[in-house]
Structure 1
Amino acid sequence: MSTEHHDESEPKSCGSCEHGHDDTPLPRNALVIASGALLGAGMLLQWLKLGPPLLHTSCYALATLAGGLLVFPAAFKALKKLRLDMNVLMTVAVTGAWLVGEGAEGAAVVFLFALSELLESWSVGRARRAIAALLKLTPQTALVRGADGVAKEVPVAEVTIGSEISVRSGSSIPLDGEVITGASSVNQAPITGESVPVEKKPGDPVFAGTINGEGSLTVRVTKAASDSTLARIIKLVEEAEEQKAPTQRFVDKFATIYTPAVFGVALLVALLPPLLMGGAWSEWTYRALVLLVIACPCALVIATPVSIVSGLTALARRGVLIKGGAHLEAVGKLRALAVDKTGTITQGRPQVTGVIPISDMTEDEVLRRAAAIDAHSEHPLAKAVVAAAQAKGISWSESTQYQSVTGRGATAVIDGHPHFIGNHKMAHELGICSPEIEARLTEIENQGQSLAILGHTPHEGCEGKILGILAIGDTMRPEAANALTLLHDAGLEKVVMLSGDNQRTVDAIARQAGIDEAYGDLMPEQKIEHIKRLMAEHQYVGMIGDGVNDAPALALASVGIAMGAIGSDTAIETADMALMQDDLTRVAEAIGLGRRTLRIIQFNVAFALVVKAIFLILAFTGHTSLWLAILADTGATLLVIMNALRLLGGAKNLK
């Protein structure tokens, strides 16, 4: 089956076959129904012995013509290109059946072959409709606010970046943008697979195709309709479906050699026994025709692409995008995984994890004074201190005479007294560390956390002292430990952390998460060396990163996986697999579905080959007929399709 994109009512047939129905105004469904009805009528009349034989023959002929309109023109095109495909194979078989006086079987061959092609197109259409349905979620118009504040309905394609649009409660958001007024919960399931609506307030991003909840929002458009997150997802899935998996490429290559070979064998079956052994021409011609029908590799050719399309679609529903069948097969073969730390295993933003008063101060007072100094700074650790104070509702008076001390911390005057906040080195240099303080600082650092020491700065008449210690860490994602368990359960032999952070911090996070090996203080080129080592040991290795800083390692790995692609314009472009939300458990789901897809493909290919082998033997020995041959081929194709489509339903139940 070609994975090119057509209207779902007009897909190509399996292999490289082309259908003649493109040249006829009659829809495929009507032709298949007409062929089946005429075949049934002819068989019923013949069985009941109603009407003259000419009537029966006419029904079979019309049935052959109706089904043949989907086969014969495509066979003619293939012959013009000097190519033998399944349409040619079927045309020869049908023509031969009529020539040896088996019009009923000729009509049955055409009908059942056309029916199998219809089932194939339906199966692919079903998989693609799951993605096409996303388009229906996006309104075709948007309410654009004019300079006078009045909203006017405008086609989304004409809305420019920077425009302000109104999104009413309960309606779909038409374009990507940023909330400027209003607050609401938004159902992002169509994009990220999240089951719980996400609260949105001014400054938060919203995405086309998501559904606004109870509030009314005013949104500033940040992307054109053609460049929205939803549009990129649909484009990615379409491109992914066009990329053939290794198994599919092998089967397609096999079919191009196999089909002409079958013609040669059928010709020998038809000619050699009558010429060399005095066999009946009609009998051996019939056996050759049966051989041609049985040899039709429909089920074999369709075994891989329907499975791949179903697997890609199932994961897209869950907010996991994979760029093609080759990458889906690689995901199913993963044996080891390398992960970045910051933003992957951890939240990617420092947070105050503990406040330790050293004097008689309360935790809130330590936070108040620390925030009064750090409010002047844009340093990530300083921001974490200020955020912690704000989260507890602590207010502070502005400090004065603020000075940043590079590589150490900062000083400022609070309530007339000089204070400092800084690192371990700053406390040492001020000469106010004690063995007790050293023990506490070492304990915090051994946990892989940073620290901020608050104290009185030594000055005239004051020796200075430490007032409190703030432990600051990049906290682990809440789902990380469970995700690592699921990854091992999915069959991964090793999970390794590769980070540019210091080794002590990396070791601490690895212990908490349950990671097998952890390497810190790595430059990008050193990460590549570790990926090469893992690939030498395990062959198929995945790498999870942010899609930008880890680009070299992502590119080298068997499967590069980008975290939180919904927030990054470059992540989808960089990686082979993109997680639309920051949820590590989806990696285990993807590996599980990739393995299941591989098993289904392997079963489908083996099943198709076994059915072919059995009926080829029966054809040689004269123990089958055109009826049984086409029923076996159609049955095998139908079973292969149904088996592959189980992947679509399976995505709903992945845990």
Structure 2
Amino acid sequence: MSTEDTHTDSESKSCGSCEHGHDDTPLPRNALVITSGTLLGLGMLLQWLTLGPAMLHTICFALATLAGGLLVFPAAFKALKKLRLDMNVLMTVAVTGAWLVGEGAEGAAVVFLFALSELLESWSVGRARRAIAALLKLTPQTALVKGADGSAKEVPVAEVTVGSEISVRSGSSIPLDGEVIAGDSAVNQAPITGESVPVEKKPGDTVFAGTINGEGSLTVRVMKAASDSTLARIIKLVEEAEEQKAPTQRFVDKFATIYTPAVFVAALLVALLPPLLMGGAWSEWTYRALVLLVIACPCALVIATPVSIVSGLTALARRGVLIKGGAHLEAVGKLRALAVDKTGTITQGRPQVTGITLIGDITEEEIMRRAAAIDAHSEHPLAKAVVAAAQAKGITWSESAQYQSVTGRGATAVIDGHPHFIGNHKMAHELGLCSPEIETRLT
């Protein structure tokens, strides 16, 4: 999947059940909506303060209607060509009716509010597109594929076949889903799983495209093609979320298919029946039919859902919570149980030293001094926690020498002329330093 393909697909999608005509004008939607709102506000201010000639505020209302109408009128024309009555047609007729009955301010307000709702909806769609673009940047475009002679050749990820062996250098992104067959390293899986602490990977473990390799080098056997990777599936889910509307929005769209024709029929009956059956004046009842169209225009109904959804998504984004779309936001209101990943969700994802267990004749301060002397060289989250704990206790340490990181195990260094190590249970076993007492404490 390429960035260009994704952009093209997204651009072609309609942002509603009807056509909005977003591409019928070269002017940006933002500028049109802002212009419409500004002119509407200026016209109302001039009218309220009775400043300047009366024609001045009328001109402002007319220009506001035109600016906002560029996002509505073309779509209404398309719908009429297909003999379909939708919300765009109702809005257009209502605006026209407002001007015919001398209520230009109402017409400008109607078209501005509807154009604003379209802008908010497109903002939500654009947010999904930006999320997709960010996901696409996670994976490299090429992979180092190992040949039969052991040499590595750079190949586009789309051309790498399942079963191929690829080399992943330290500090680089993993290009494809696969299984580690050689090497040990700590892999940062936060872009995919949200885990804030790197996960140790050894032969037999699974790695995901888009995750970041740590200090070690890995040889990975490709298990899935680029188009079927975990990241590719996440991108597909985001794209599907972009197309999904919130239940309330779907109800509004369905309601509009019934409401719009009903309003037109009602207005037609108001215009025809009284003159034909009761001898009413045609001009008076035509005027009343136009008034009915104006007051029946459901601006609040149209704008309510996009405004609510965008406000909710924006407020949550400021707090670091990303939701796929309106449908998922509304689903939160129906939750009865919630399962969350602890690290980085309930907790802050910053490990801390909570206790020290001593074995042998040594003090806590001395243990912390030696541990900090080694871990001061490392960027591992656990090493940072040890150093922070030593600093909090006011413990100072001398510089260690010959520091060496052991991927997936820990680290070694020379302190005060003596070799030391800090690491996990496996490292203690490999160094032959795991005593029965340590085994008992760990179990």
C-alpha spacing 1:138/1:89, structure 2 compared with 1 (3 Å): same
Per-residue CA deviation, residues 176-195 of structure 1 (Å, 9 max, x unaligned), is 12223332222323333434
The C-alpha deviation readout for 1:557-597, integer Å capped at 9, x for no partner, is xxxxxxxxxxxxxxxxxxxxxxxxxxxxxxxxxxxxxxxxx
Q: CA deviation at 1:228?
A: 0.9
Native 8 Å contact 1:247 1:304 kept in 2: yes
Cα–Cα, structure 1 residues 191 and 173, in superposed 2: closer, same or farther, change >3 Å?
same
The corresponding residue for 1:168 is 169
- More displaced 10-residue stretch of structure 1: 273-282 or 56-65: 273-282
Deviation sequence 1:421-463 (CA, Å, 0-9, x none): 999999999999999999999xxxxxxxxxxxxxxxxxxxxxx
Label 1:38 to 1:317 Cα distance change in 2 as closer, same or farther (>3 A). Answer: closer
> CA 1:246/1:391 → structure 2, altered by over 3 Å: closer, same or farther?
same
> CA contact under 8 A between 1:12 and 1:18: conserved in structure 2?
no
Give per-residue Cα distances to partners, 1:76-135, cap 9 Å, x unaligned: 111122221110011001111222233333223222211121012213433564455322
Bigger drift between 155-164 and 325-334 goes to 325-334
Whole-Å separation in 2 of the counterparts to 1:422 and 1:188: 21
2:125 matches 1:124: yes
Q: Determine if contact 1:372/1:398 at 8 Å carries over to the other structure.
A: yes
- Counting matched residue pairs gives 440
Query: Structure 1 residues 323-332 or 58-67, which shifts more?
Result: 323-332
Q: Measure how far apart 1:74 and its partner are.
A: 0.6
Contact 1:156/1:174 (8 A) holds in 2: yes
> Cα distance, 1:18 vs. partner?
0.8
C-alpha displacement of 1:240: 5.5
User: CA, structure 1 residues 406+167, in 2 after alignment: closer, same or farther (shift >3 Å)?
Assistant: closer
Question: How far is the alpha carbon of 1:207 from its aligned partner?
Answer: 0.8
Q: CA deviation at 1:256?
A: 1.4
> SS of 2:397's equivalent?
coil
Are the structure 2 counterparts of residues 297 and 144 from structure 1 closer, same or farther at C-alpha, using a change threshold of 3 Å?
farther
The CA distance in 2 between the partners of 1:416 and 1:41, in whole Å, is: 80
Contact 1:400 1:412 in 2 (8 A): yes
- The CA deviation at 1:411 is 44
Q: TM-score, normalised by structure 2?
A: 0.59
Tell me whether 389-398 or 60-69 shows the greater mean CA deviation.
Answer: 389-398
Which is worse superposed, 278-287 or 58-67? 278-287
Q: Is residue 145–residue 165 contact of structure 2 (8 Å, CA) maintained in 1?
A: yes
- Alpha carbons of structure 1 residues 42 and 208: separation in structure 2 relative to 1, 3 Å: same
Which sits farther off after the overlay, 336-345 or 22-31? 336-345
* RMSD after superposition: 11.9
Between the aligned partners of 2:311 and 2:86, the Cα distance in structure 1 is 25
Listed one character per residue, the Cα deviations across residues 357-377 of structure 1 (whole Å, up to 9, x for unaligned) are: 999999999999999999999
Give secondary structure in 1 for the equivalent of 2:143: strand
- Tell whether the 8 Å contact from 2:187 to 2:199 is kept in structure 1 after alignment: yes
Q: Is the 8 Å Cα contact of residues 152 and 167 (structure 2) preserved in structure 1?
A: yes
- Partner-residue secondary structure (3-state), 2:294: helix
- Preserved CA contact (<8 Å) 1:45 1:56: yes
Structure 2: 5+ residue runs without aligned partners? Answer: none
> Relative to structure 1, is the Cα distance of residues 178 and 258 closer, same or farther in structure 2, using a 3 angstrom cutoff?
same
**Residue 257 of structure 1, CA deviation:** 1.3
Q: 1:437 to 1:206 in 2, by over 3 A?
A: closer
Report if the CA contact (8 A) 1:138-1:208 is conserved. Answer: yes
**Separation in 2, partners of 1:189, 1:405:** 22
CA gap 1:171/1:267 in 2 versus in 1, 3 angstroms: farther
Which moves more between the two structures, 366-375 or 34-43?
A: 366-375
How big is each residue's C-alpha offset from its partner over 1:54-86, in whole Å with a ceiling of 9 and x where there is no partner?
Answer: 554444333322221111111011112222111
CA contact (8 A) 1:170 1:214 kept: yes
Shift of 1:13: 7.2
CA contact (8 A) 1:124 1:306 kept: no
**Cα offsets for 1:591-619 (capped at 9, x unmatched):** xxxxxxxxxxxxxxxxxxxxxxxxxxxxx
Q: Which has the higher contact order (CA 8 A, sep 6+)?
A: 1
Report which stretch shifted further, 240-249 or 362-371: 362-371
1:450-482 deviation digits (Å, cap 9, x = unpaired): xxxxxxxxxxxxxxxxxxxxxxxxxxxxxxxxx
Is the 8 Å Cα contact of residues 131 and 234 (structure 1) preserved in structure 2?
A: yes
Residue 46 of structure 2 contacts residue 57 of structure 2 at CA under 8 Å; is this kept in 1?
A: yes
Query: For structure 1, which runs of at least 5 residues remain unmatched after alignment?
Result: 442-655
1:408 aligns with 2:395: no
Summarize the Cα distance change of 1:299–1:197 in structure 2 as closer, same or farther, 3 Å threshold: farther
Closer, same or farther: CA 204–296 of 1 in aligned 2, 3 Å: farther
Q: 2: distance between equivalents of 1:273 and 1:251? A: 32
**Residue range with higher mean Cα deviation, 180-189 or 10-19:** 10-19
Cα separation, 2, equivalents of 1:433 and 1:143: 39
Partners of 2:10 and 2:129 within 8 A in 1: no
Report the TM-score, using the length of structure 1 for normalisation.
0.42
Are the counterparts in 2 of residues 8 and 121 from structure 1 also a CA contact under 8 Å? no
8 Å CA contact retained: 1:61, 1:103: yes
Query: How much has 1:206 moved relative to structure 2?
Result: 0.8
Task: Summarize the alignment of residues 166-565 of structure 1 with structure 2, pairs less than 5 Å apart.
Answer: 166-239=167-240, 242=243, 251-269=252-270, 288-289=289-290, 291-293=292-294, 295-297=296-298, 300=301
Whether the 8 Å contact between 1:239 and 1:324 is mirrored in structure 2 is: no
Assess if the C-alpha contact under 8 Å between 1:12 and 1:19 holds in 2.
no
State the distance in 2 between where 1:210 and 1:135 align.
12
Are the structure 2 counterparts of residues 277 and 227 from structure 1 closer, same or farther at C-alpha, using a change threshold of 3 Å?
Answer: same
The aligned counterpart of 2:3 is 3
Pair 52,239 (structure 1): closer, same or farther in 2 beyond 3 Å: same
Other structure's SS at 2:227 match: helix
Q: 1:7 to 1:313 in 2, by over 3 A?
A: farther
Q: Give a deviation string over 1:236-268, Cα, whole Å, max 9, x none.
A: 443465467877665543331122112223344
Normalized per residue, the structure richer in strand is: 1
**Greater Cα offset, 93-102 or 423-432:** 423-432
Could you tell me how far apart the structure 2 residues matched to 1:2 and 1:255 are?
Answer: 37
Aligned to 1:395, the other structure's residue is in SS state: coil
The 1:169/1:236 distance shift into structure 2, 3 A limit, reads same
C-alpha contact 1:176 1:208 (8 A) present in aligned 2: yes
- Asked whether the equivalents of residues 167 and 219 of structure 1 are also in contact (C-alpha less than 8 Å), the reply is yes
